[in-house]
Amino acid sequence: MGDMANSSIEFHPKPQQQRDAPHAGGFGCTLAELRALMELRGAEALQKIEEAYGDVSGLCRRLRTSPTEGLADNTNDLEKRRQIYGQNFIPPKQPKTFLQLVWEALQDVTLIILEVAAIVSLGLSFYAPPGEETCGNVSGGTEDEGEAEAGWIEGAAILLSVICVVLVTAFNDWSKEKQFRGLQSRIEQEQKFTVIRNGQLLQVPVAALVVGDIAQVKYGDLLPADGVLIQANDLKIDESSLTGESDHVRKSADKDPMLLSGTHVMEGSGRMVVTAVGVNSQTGIIFTLLGAGGEEEEKKDKKAKKQDGAVAMEMQPLKSAEGGEMEEREKKKANAPKKEKSVLQGKLTKLAVQIGKAGLVMSAITVIILVLYFVIETFVLEGRTWLAECTPVYVQYFVKFFIIGVTVLVVAVPEGLPLAVTISLAYSVKKMMKDNNLVRHLDACETMGNATAICSDKTGTLTTNRMTVVQSYLGDTHYKEIPAPSALTPKILDLLVHAISINSAYTTKILPPEKEGALPRQVGNKTECALLGFVLDLKRDFQPVREQIPEDKLYKVYTFNSVRKSMSTVIRMPDGGFRLFSKGASEILLKKCTNILNSNGELRGFRPRDRDDMVRKIIEPMACDGLRTICIAYRDFSAGQEPDWDNENEVVGDLTCIAVVGIEDPVRPEVPEAIRKCQRAGITVRMVTGDNINTARAIAAKCGIIQPGEDFLCLEGKEFNRRIRNEKGEIEQERLDKVWPKLRVLARSSPTDKHTLVKGIIDSTTGEQRQVVAVTGDGTNDGPALKKADVGFAMGIAGTDVAKEASDIILTDDNFTSIVKAVMWGRNVYDSISKFLQFQLTVNVVAVIVAFTGACITQDSPLKAVQMLWVNLIMDTFASLALATEPPTESLLLRKPYGRDKPLISRTMMKNILGHAVYQLAIIFTLLFVGELFFDIDSGRNAPLHSPPSEHYTIIFNTFVMMQLFNEINARKIHGERNVFDGIFSNPIFCTIVLGTFGIQIVIVQFGGKPFSCSPLSTEQWLWCLFVGVGELVWGQVIATIPTSQLKCLKEAGHGPGKDEMTDEELAEGEEEIDHAERELRRGQILWFRGLNRIQTQIRVVKAFRSSLYEGLEKPESKTSIHNFMATPEFLINDYTHNIPLIDDTDVDENEERLRAPQPPSPNQNNNAIDSGIYLTTHVTKSATSSVFSSSPGSPLHSVETSL
């Protein structure tokens, strides 16, 4: 082959020399050549490699690398490769600058209204009306010149407070984005890939890969760069993320050697030479195209929606090609909208909308009443005529009324809410990092607090994942501990050592311990590590055997997968025959054994009867001790009879059993306690494992998942399927509902069973509320279940990339106790938000009623616009910080989960809100109407326009703020506890904020003067204000004494969306729902019909899209929306597990149709990335389409139009 590669130069001397000239840095391939090569697939690619390089090793020589040794690990060479072929890094989109965020914060409708009002008021204050008398007492004859000058202050003060709010909001968004980027880069640094350099296997960060690296690919990897396969064992790749084809593609060096970045390895293993990295890889190319469309998408986005609030937190940074690595696109997939809005999000949206509506109505009524009152009094009762020169004066009044109306609206709407959610989630996420929870989707953190069921893997989560062989059955003898090598016949020992060393991934090995006295390090598959450890315990070594038969000498490998549940390797013997070694689950392999080795190492017949004996006497006792049994067998083929290697059932049959070993994986010491906590907290823990039923039951008992004397079920996958399927083999929900409530252990389960169980529990309607299910998983096959669950936990250490992609939270220490911590944090988020709501709503109710009645009775709100803004925005922001950062306590785990339908505002909270509102209103109205007599000061009521601030109203304002401050302490407890100071010092943020607010309040009252409409108060007046404030705490105790159960009249508020309210359309556009939610939350005051309007159009589009999807789309204008909706949130099962009997027949039909939908052949295979909107999130698809329709006809994506 090599000669041929060289000889090809002699055939075309001219072009070759010219082409060699630009070859940078002495490598034999240019970047452009490699890019062109990676565009090809299958036979075309092979042909091209043969024409240009002879074969893959020729390509390796051109890239100056060795297929077996890899690159020399020398920095200059690596650096040079990076300069010529690029880095394996996709540059992130620029983050929004602070000014952009400020501009976005300014888009808030309420703020705009306030700005306009303030500017108008400013403008009018400079207008001096003509003759005073003509306009009557309207302009208030009392004022002297100095005060007329001060008319501008109120407008200016409103503008100033608007600026404050905007800066605070922008700063919050900015720090949020920054935190998220930090999190992203942490996820990225943790992703490593195995390469060979200097003949050594190294784990390098994905960003460090260079062209020419020889990379090891194995089951569960997410390929980080493009490459050409050098050698493969039974390699199957899921390329649906690029092509949209859900069938797994079989790759081999002689048929289809092209491996593409961003695709998933579903089976097998192999080695590839990296040929394209970063922006030149297939993923990178698509990204660059998205980037080109990014700017237009920005503009569209601005029109479409203001993205904000909690979910935007995760949506937005991910929308940009952030933090770079290859797995970016996967991030986007993983970020496709969750099944539904997070529970909390749904409840908050509803609540915010309801409050917003109430606020709008109240403010409108206030303005109308004020205007009517003024008009009737001035023009009807006093009988004045409207004089042209007096117009500005009247307008000034109207502006003042308008400002009061807006102020009522501002106070009514809880702007602090989204902020509280954001802060609470961000704070929790940060702290959860310390508890080994790496949260990828923020809402998962809060959903976890509502979890009612956890379906956990056994291996590695409940157990330590340090497998060791503790019992064995060799040569007719059952050894309860490791046998002495001398006790075994040399023939058996030799076969066993070969069978274990050769028939396991060569990447699995046992290394000496890092520290003195520690355990040896296990690298690779833990079960294989246990077997290799067994070889070492028998005082033999596996390394020499592997050196004698290196990986590329292996004739055929049937790798382990979830269907086979076994692994087999064929080697060629010196005499020309073949030997097959096989290992796998004992009950499966023993069925294929027809012989067994006796104590002398000779063959003895092994009949079904012997097998039953063995199962009863050896395997069941092992399993009852909680051991996992593995059978090791072999088969010889004589020289003349080479079988058909593709007929696997034929090949792996007629085996001879060498040994059966029992592997133990000890339960983690801290797990039983963690499971007890879960059960106390009302969470059912179920174990779903691939192990056999006896082992599973033994371990479940050790963990405390099943207790003696309980009524529970332990089922095997087969039995489980038999119980839940009807005669036609379809799954029936009512059958499932009979099984799952009692099911505690599901053994020998396939990934499909796990998904079925999770889906069944989630869809079940038997209980009083819908179950919230958390699932843990580590294997590639757990992807569908992780995706389907409300919260998916992937294992940080043992987990494959595919599992991590599908998950919401990554457990960095693979430990079940971390899940319990996540529950605690989740409940804490929920409680923090309830605490804030309780505080915020009290402020709102009081302020709205005071402003409204005050305005109607005295034509002027006792709380001025600027004061309201201070109370509302500043105190809300601070209070949300203070209440959202309460640390969680163990007591959170003593109550049952809230569930989906429990309202945000419980009866107790309602009692607190109304109780405190009554107290505050009583005080304020007393002060307003008889306060001047009590303090012996001038009354501030009916003051003319621009009159100086009165002590009377200052006292009202100050008392109001004092009451809020002390009520903030009351709000720390929401379940009716008496001791509100409990643990207050463990939260320094809270103490700082309460004292800080108090300090600022003193400054405002004493020195705020005209802008804040305050006049300084005496010490005695201050003490009275404080006294009334402390009264809040006493009053809180009074309220706590009233039993909630007596108050039947109280309604709860903030329910989650009811079953009937969630229509199909809403679900179909879950994504839009979320944005709608965001808008409502933060811009709660947005005249919400804009949103409704948009939703209706979206629904119309969905309907149109549904009807016309397969009839060829003619209408160009609907293209963008089509793509938006092609991002279906479901994780299509048959994308992942096509070869497993499919789950739900109904689903299958739809999906199959979707996949069979006729597509005209497209000129370029890559564009399907966009056809298969199935995987890309809406954000991606939007930008993708905008780039598609703007891209030049020659670009690879142009053909989408045709393929649609």
457 annotated active-site: yes
**236 forms bridges with which residues in the sheet?**
250, 267
| Three-class secondary structure of residue 1150 per DSSP | helix
What is d(CA 1088, CA 413) in angstroms, rounded to the nearest whole number? 13
| Number of alpha carbons in the 13 Å side-chain half-sphere of residue 42 | 4
CA–CA dist 811, 828 (Å, integer): 19
**Catalytic choice (457, 665, 753, 814):** 457
Quote the CA–CA distance of 845 and 281 in Å, as a whole number.
58
| Best CA proximity match to 806, nearest among 333, 98, 382, 398 | 333
Spatial distance between the Cα atoms of 1076 and 1167, rounded to a whole number of angstroms:
31
The residue ranges of DSSP E strands in 589-719, in sequence order, are: 593-597, 603-605, 628-637, 655-664, 684-688, 713-716
Residue 389 burial by Cβ neighbours in a 10 Å radius (0-12, 13-18, 19+)? exposed
> What length does the chain have?
1204
First to last CA, the chain: 43
Q: Please provide the DSSP assignment of 86-141 as one string.
A: --S-PPPPPPPPHHHHHHHHTT-HHHHHHHHHHHHHHHHHTPPPS-TGGGGGGG-T
Angle in degrees, CA 349, 353, 359, rounded to 5:
145
Calpha distance 889→900 (Å, rounded): 22
Which residue(s) pair with 264 in the sheet?
Answer: 222, 238
* Residue 801 CB burial class (10 angstroms; 0-12, 13-18, ≥19): buried
The b-or-e profile of 687-698 (16+ CB within 10 A means b, else e) is bbbbbbbbbbbb
SS3 content of the chain, % helix, strand, coil (to 5): 55, 15, 30
| Residue with tokens 């997939």, as numbered in its chain | 333
Helix (H, G, I), strand (E, B) or coil at 955: helix
Locate 88 and state its tokens: 């394996």
Local structure of residue 521 (DSSP, 8 states): E
194-200 long-range CB contacts below 8 Å, 24 or more apart? Answer: 194/218, 194/507, 195/70, 196/68, 196/69, 196/70, 196/271, 197/70, 197/71, 197/72, 197/73, 198/69, 198/70, 198/71, 198/72, 198/73, 199/68, 199/69, 199/70
Residue whose pair of structure tokens reads 């064995």 in the numeric block: 472
Angle 343-375/391-412 helices, nearest 10 degrees?
A: 160
1052: Cα within 13 Å, side-chain hemisphere: 15
Strand pairing of 477-479 and 743-747?
unpaired
Burial class (CB in 10 A: 0-12, 13-18, 19+), 204: middle
At 384, is the secondary structure helix, strand, or coil? Answer: coil
Q: Measuring CA to CA, which residue among 1048, 1084, 1042 is closest to residue 918? A: 1042
* Beta carbons of 836 and 884 less than 8 angstroms apart: yes
Distance CA 381, CA 378 (A): 6
Which residue, 20, 64, 317, 25, is CA-closest to 188? Answer: 317
> How far is the C-alpha of 761 from the C-alpha of 229, rounded, in Å?
42
Q: Hey, what are 1068's tokens?
A: 């179909």
Give the Cα separation of 913 and 905 in Å (integer): 10
Catalytic residues: 457
